[in-house]
Structure 1
Amino acid sequence: MTRLSYERYCAEIVTQTSLLVASLKDADLTTEVPSCPEWNVGQLLRHLGGVQRWAETLVRTRATEPIPEGGRDLAAYTDEDPAVVGPWLAEGAERLAETLRAAGPGTPVWTPVPDYGTTDFFVRRFTHETAIHRADATLALGLEYELDKEVAVDGIDEWMELGSLPLHFEVHPWMRELLGPGRTLHFHATDTPPEANAEWVVDLTGDVITWRRAHEKSAVAVRGPVTELLLAIYKRRPITDGPFKIFGDTELLDFWLERVDFG
């Protein structure tokens, strides 16, 4: 399993933000975002720009402890202007990418997830934070969403990695209810080359959630395009709305989607 390169992540933060900004032309930013129901599109953009700036500050200062996270208090941003928020968002993404490049991979810095502790966490996390929030805004505005397949595959890998951390049981105790004998889920991307090995098994049969890239018979299997799989796993669109073929225990799939809580 190979991650994208550090430089590719830096470039994708800018690319995903640029694509998002380009979609804002003539957009009504007061449009509500179904996948983030507490926000409209303008507030979503302010959130994304705020957390990008937060990460940039952490990396630039080589923070050893947390600082207040930006992009949370959005009450003042209910009626945003694309001509204002678009350039602001693009500037923040450029600054974050430049700061990550200057710091380089493996540089120690505080991270919100214990045991990561380097710039490698932020460069990957903000690639996918940006790509998923671009989907939130794009879909809310009724536009088509496309994502490079390599980025989508890596996005699922990262979701699987972070979403299976044992700390979730402490934060979300109800996730323990997922565990049980025979509970396995298989996700299979149908539009990637065989060498990509874009198949994932989520294993809920032990004491913790585990996952692996594999082709294995499971209690339930979902086959579909990789970007659609990513959006469904992130609960950005109901899996019943996607172009999927689902085999096996659909109740387990629904239960898993109900209980998982990352991103």
Structure 2
Amino acid sequence: MVEQAEALKAAAVAAGPSAPAPTCPKWTVKDLVEHIAQVHNMVVEGLKLGRDDKRPAIAQLPEDWDELVAWWDAKRMEMVTALGEADPAKQAWSFIPEMGTYGWWARRQAHETAIHRLDAEHAQSEKVPTLLFDSELAADGIDEVLATMSVYRARAKRPEVTVEGTLLVHAADAGRAWILHARGGVVEVGPVEDSATAADATLAGTADAVYRAVWKRPSHAILNGREELLQAVNSG
């Protein structure tokens, strides 16, 4: 998380606050930094709450760009310290109550920060490297989107999943694969037990490429079959 946050900050500062963030339509880099700053502050405040407490209030952010970056730095460091010093099993508030632990938040913010680092890289340059994320981080991020976020958001109908079928997801260099079943508005995800598993669509590539694809970012991952099944993949 620390490495991804530093890379996000470097790319955002290099791009400048008024630069468009093309992977986040209608956002500028300042909007992107305001978003990640709000998220990190929400986590800081949420870690102080119990699972049944109300969502933390939205913070009032500095208008000045340099002050905003400094404010985000302080909140991010506070979050990293709090997460690093506590037992990962310790409970806290979460927008998915049953997932509310310090360990869950550490994982969630590692990927929230990594993907928005990618957004900042796209804002800084049209030539973003095809390999930014190591395969272990990327594969874990794919797993989070598929097995946690997509399942939760389908259950909560945010939005409602209207497609039905199976999607095979394969991160070749990580040696991992998942099978997603969408039916009746419900999404279920599990590991692939058989290399001959049949599916209505397949999403495959390096873990980095598939990670970007499940987050609906520009990617070199290859999608074959019923492309509409990607609607069941929902990172939020």
**Unaligned 5+ runs, structure 2:** none
Q: Deviations over 1:177-220 (max 9, x none)?
A: 212xxx2111212333xxxx321211225772111221423222
Separation (CA, whole Å) in 1 of partners of 2:124 and 2:39: 22
Alignment of 1:55-134 (within 5 A): 55-62=43-50, 64-70=52-58, 81=65, 83-134=66-117
Q: Deviations over 1:76-125 (max 9, x none)?
A: 85xx63x4444433332211011112332111212111322322221111
Residue 244 (str. 1) matches residue 225 (str. 2)? no
Residue 178 (str. 1) matches residue 163 (str. 2)? yes
Change over 3 Å in CA distance of 1:19–1:199 after alignment to 2 = same
Displacement of 1:20 after TM fit?
1.1
So what's the TM-score if we normalise by structure 2? Answer: 0.84
Q: Check the 8 A contact 1:235/1:257 in 2, yes or no.
A: no
Q: Check the 8 A contact 1:190/1:226 in 2, yes or no.
A: yes
> 2:201 matched to which residue of 1?
220
So what's the TM-score if we normalise by structure 1? Answer: 0.76
Change over 3 Å in CA distance of 1:26–1:112 after alignment to 2 = closer
Q: Check the 8 A contact 2:139/2:176 in 1, yes or no.
A: yes
Separation (CA, whole Å) in 1 of partners of 2:5 and 2:22: 20
Alpha-carbon RMSD across the aligned residues, in angstroms, is 2.6
**Unaligned 5+ runs, structure 1:** 1-11
Q: Check the 8 A contact 2:168/2:201 in 1, yes or no.
A: yes
Q: 1:152 aligns with which of 114, 119, 138?
A: 138
Separation (CA, whole Å) in 1 of partners of 2:160 and 2:185: 14
Displacement of 1:62 after TM fit?
4.8
Displacement of 1:256 after TM fit?
2.4
Separation (CA, whole Å) in 2 of partners of 1:39 and 1:32: 6
Q: Deviations over 1:15-47 (max 9, x none)?
A: 211111122344222122233223211111111
Q: Residue type of the partner of 2:220? A: P
Residue 191 (str. 1) matches residue 173 (str. 2)? yes
> 2:32 matched to which residue of 1?
44
Percent pairwise identity: 26
Residue 16 (str. 1) matches residue 4 (str. 2)? yes
Matched residue pairs, number? 230
Separation (CA, whole Å) in 1 of partners of 2:86 and 2:148: 23
Change over 3 Å in CA distance of 1:151–1:69 after alignment to 2 = farther
Separation (CA, whole Å) in 2 of partners of 1:170 and 1:86: 34
